[in-house]
Amino acid sequence: MISRLGRSRAGWPAFIGVCLLIMLAVTGPIIWGERALAQDPSSALLPPSPDHWFGTDSLGRDLFARVMTASRLSLLMALAANAIGAAVGLGLGIVAAFSRGWLRRLLGRAIDVALSFPDILLAVIVITIVGMGVTGPVVAVGVAMIPGYARLALTLGASVAGRDYVDSARLLGLSGPRILVHYVLRNVAEPLLTSVCTSVGVALLSVSSLSFLGLGVQPPDFDWGAMLTEGVRYFYLSPAWALSSAALIALSGLTFGLLGEALAHGASARNGRRRRRATAPQAAGAGAAPRPGALVDAADLTVTVHEAAEPFDAVKSVSLQVAPGEAVGIVGESSSGKSLTAAAIADLLPPGIGVRAERLALDGQPLAGLPAAGRGRFLFEKVAMIYQDPMAALNPALRIGTQLTEGAIQHRRISRARAEQRARELLAEARLPDPERVMQSYPHELSGGMRQRVMIAMALMSEPKVIIADEPTTALDVTTQAAVLQVLDDARARRDSSLVLISHNLAVVANHVDRIVVMYAGSVMEVIGASVLAEHGPAHPYTLALLRSVVRTDQDRDQPLPSIPGSPASAPTAPGAAGAGGCPFVDRCPDAFEPCHTVPPLITLAVDHSSRCWLHLQDRPDGVAPVAAQR
Ligand SMILES: Nc1ncnc2c1ncn2[C@@H]1O[C@H](COP(=O)(O)OP(=O)(O)OP(=O)(O)O)[C@@H](O)[C@H]1O
């Protein structure tokens, strides 16, 4: 923390100022306490002099001694009020950030309403209930600070709650408190610390203001605010009295403000360096019918986004079965519902998104019936997730070794040494040079390709039955993409795990899976075996367009890059979104004809091949026979 202060120009003055204030609070009452209380009516209201540097008050007490002595009570009250506000407010905000449904909405609204109250008004109301003195203003200011802290924690918590690494931690089945401390608080600690420091100054000003208004500390106790009240009364007689108290309040507030600013500056400088280092180059079945023994078994799966202006089904009646050892690809343009389908299978849907299904089970166990107690361990053993952006999926605040081992230590009850040994083996299997160094590294110290290999090793730590890889290579360059997919293929083949591979790129996926599910605007458009695709090509115009839009190395560079005309329809706006309007692809389909304005069914064309298109059943306008009839 001290080195962080050194990175800002305000750092050293703030540090020295805080040290001086602490010394003053500790030694002030010891050195000057007695003199501060000694009354001498014969020397009342004297101006500053060598005997009395700030003069004397109406009872002849030395004002310099009183100001110095009051520092302890003033600072302690500010710290205590800030501690109350921070403890209650941050706790409330974190609960709100991680709660779901009505509780989250209720807490969010309550925090906003409380925030709209002026702090000082809130403090005055509380003080009339608690009473004046030393405790009253502390509680009052503490309570008045709660809404601000709660809003801060809610905003910071919500920004972290949706991160991939928090989802990964959930999938590892880590306990709620551990996720909170290691994955949430560690990643918002810097802005929180900054805010807590700055707020000590705010608390000092508030407590002093209450005393100044006569609502705070009462005689015989005295703090800077109470001294200011009397000093103002005798301002024309002895201005040093009021000015010294006011100056100390202002300087202390400024010092804590500078400290907060210096910490924030240090943190942003450090993050900047992290980012720079991170970018430096480094070495480095679908079908409704249940399949017996399917590891993933989703039938009629619908995922609804409730938190949109108009709730909508982002995934519509999707059925997906994955057999043991089978690899299934999910392909489609952006917003087609691929990630939400995968998140529903892994029981990782974020708050505000609901799921309903005729069947949704992992290894024969319906997810809806999972008991809360064993849920973490069950998911840890059955399913692992590899995300698109490994930087977002790894906790930036923990070393790789810790992240790799903690799930296994918790669920497998193996020793740390054993877990670390296993992690090193898996890092080596993921072809990472020097696994020991990688174990000791933080995510930002590795290249993108290395981080994705770490994610694969992490997924394998639980020996899961199903690996879900959500666009695992999109963020990587082409050479690294191929190497990472090869690592994934080899690791899977060695264990006979199942794979759900999500991608925009049909050509890439086709080389690594047995079956491909093509999605568009939340619906399955085609399901096709990889060998059928290689032999016959796709049947659905959308799949065909996806295939044609893949950029090839032998592409004529003078020709424009291939793409599907129009923009991808999203689930809420696509035709058919409200159950009417027809095929979702109708607006962009080159083969659209009259029947496409009603929703087509998923038609079985052959073994391992079905497609949702009227072209397969009805004569086309150009007279070509329907595809189903051609097979
Ligand atoms: N947390 C969320 N809150 C609100 N809407 C969401 C959320 N997650 C996804 N959606 C919406 O659901 C739809 C499907 O999203 P999803 O992420 O599953 O698509 P995708 O096919 O994986 O797209 P991409 O390839 O861009 O990741 C989109 O319209 C998206 O905007």
- Ligand 1, atom 12: nearest CA belongs to which residue? 314
Tell me if 612 sits within 8 A of 620, measured CB to CB. no
**How remote is the CA of residue 336 from the centroid of ligand 1, in Å?**
7
> Coil, strand or helix: which one is 446?
coil
Q: Give the pLDDT band of residue 629 (cuts 50, 70, 90).
A: very low
Q: Give the pLDDT band of residue 389 (cuts 50, 70, 90).
A: confident
Task: Tell me the C-alpha to C-alpha distance, in Å, between residue 125 and each of 587, 605, 625.
Answer: 61, 74, 81
User: What pLDDT, on a 0 to 100 scale, did the predictor assign at position 276?
Assistant: 36
Count other C-beta atoms under 10 Å from residue 622's C-beta. Answer: 7
Q: Give the pLDDT band of residue 559 (cuts 50, 70, 90).
A: low
Taking the CA atoms of the chain, what radius of gyration do you get in angstroms? Answer: 33
**DSSP category for residue 163:** S
**How remote is the CA of residue 339 from the centroid of ligand 1, in Å?**
7
Atom of ligand 1 nearest to the CA of 502: 22
Calpha distance 203→323 (Å, rounded) = 61
- Taking alpha carbons only, the member of 78, 117, 86, 64 closest to residue 209 is 78
Atom of ligand 1 nearest to the CA of 572: 29
User: What pLDDT, on a 0 to 100 scale, did the predictor assign at position 481?
Assistant: 83
- Taking alpha carbons only, the member of 209, 199, 197 closest to residue 249 is 209
- Ligand 1, atom 30: nearest CA belongs to which residue? 335
What is the per-residue pLDDT across 168-177, written as a single tens digit (0 to 9) for each? Answer: 777 777 777 8
Q: Give the pLDDT band of residue 273 (cuts 50, 70, 90).
A: very low
Greater confidence (45 vs 34) lies with: 34
Q: Is the pLDDT of residue 502 over 90?
A: yes
> Coil, strand or helix: which one is 52?
coil
Percent of the chain predicted with pLDDT > 70: 85
E strand or H helix at 318: strand 312-322
| Domains, the chain | 71-267 (1.10.3720.10), 296-355+373-552+563-616 (3.40.50.300)
Q: Is 496 exposed, middle or buried (0-12, 13-18, 19+ CB in 10 A)?
A: exposed
Q: 503: alpha, beta or left, given left = phi > 0 and alpha = psi -120 to 50?
A: beta
Atom of ligand 1 nearest to the CA of 315: 14
For residue 220, say if its preceding peptide bond is cis, omega within 30 degrees of 0. yes
Tell me if 324 sits within 8 A of 498, measured CB to CB. yes
**How remote is the CA of residue 222 from the centroid of ligand 1, in Å?**
60
Angle at 254 between CA 252 and CA 260, to 5 degrees: 105
Backbone phi, psi, residue 295, to 5°: -75, -45
What is the per-residue pLDDT across 293-326, written as a single tens digit (0 to 9) for each? Answer: 789 999 999 999 987 778 889 999 999 999 998 9
DSSP of 172-217: TT--HHHIIIIIIIHHHHHHHHHHHHHHHHHHHHHHHHHHHTTSS-
**How remote is the CA of residue 294 from the centroid of ligand 1, in Å?**
26
Highest mean pLDDT among 73-82, 97-106, 216-225, 358-367: 73-82
Please provide the size of the chain in residues: 631
Q: Give the pLDDT band of residue 555 (cuts 50, 70, 90).
A: low
Q: Give the pLDDT band of residue 372 (cuts 50, 70, 90).
A: confident
**How remote is the CA of residue 335 from the centroid of ligand 1, in Å?**
5
Count other C-beta atoms under 10 Å from residue 293's C-beta. Answer: 11
User: What pLDDT, on a 0 to 100 scale, did the predictor assign at position 281?
Assistant: 30
User: What pLDDT, on a 0 to 100 scale, did the predictor assign at position 288?
Assistant: 44
User: What pLDDT, on a 0 to 100 scale, did the predictor assign at position 619?
Assistant: 58
Q: Give the pLDDT band of residue 7 (cuts 50, 70, 90).
A: low
Percent of the chain predicted with pLDDT > 90: 35
- Taking alpha carbons only, the member of 526, 519, 438, 455 closest to residue 491 is 455
Q: Give the pLDDT band of residue 554 (cuts 50, 70, 90).
A: low
| pTM exceeds 0.80 | no
Atom of ligand 1 nearest to the CA of 519: 21
User: What pLDDT, on a 0 to 100 scale, did the predictor assign at position 14?
Assistant: 84
Highest mean pLDDT among 387-391, 450-454, 589-593, 626-630: 450-454
Q: Is the pLDDT of residue 219 over 50?
A: yes
**How remote is the CA of residue 35 from the centroid of ligand 1, in Å?**
70
Q: How many helices (H) and strands (E) does the chain have?
A: 23, 13
Count other C-beta atoms under 10 Å from residue 479's C-beta. Answer: 9
Calpha distance 77→85 (Å, rounded) = 12
383-386 and 365-366: which strand pairing?
A: unpaired
Residues within a 6 A CB radius of ligand 1: 305, 307-308, 314, 332, 334-340, 350, 353, 570-571
What is the per-residue pLDDT across 124-150, written as a single tens digit (0 to 9) for each? Answer: 889 989 898 899 999 999 999 999 999
Whole-number average pLDDT of the chain? 83
Pocket test for ligand 1, best of 315, 338, 518 (most atoms within 8 A of CB): 338
E strand or H helix at 500: strand 498-503
User: What pLDDT, on a 0 to 100 scale, did the predictor assign at position 278?
Assistant: 34
Highest mean pLDDT among 265-274, 551-560, 561-570, 609-618: 609-618
Q: Is the pLDDT of residue 215 over 60?
A: yes
Pocket test for ligand 1, best of 339, 353, 386, 542 (most atoms within 8 A of CB): 339
Greater confidence (495 vs 627) lies with: 495
**How remote is the CA of residue 303 from the centroid of ligand 1, in Å?**
10
Q: Give the pLDDT band of residue 277 (cuts 50, 70, 90).
A: very low
Supply 360's token pair.
């949704």
Calpha distance 92→53 (Å, rounded) = 47
Q: Is the pLDDT of residue 513 over 70?
A: yes
Tell me if 595 sits within 8 A of 612, measured CB to CB. no
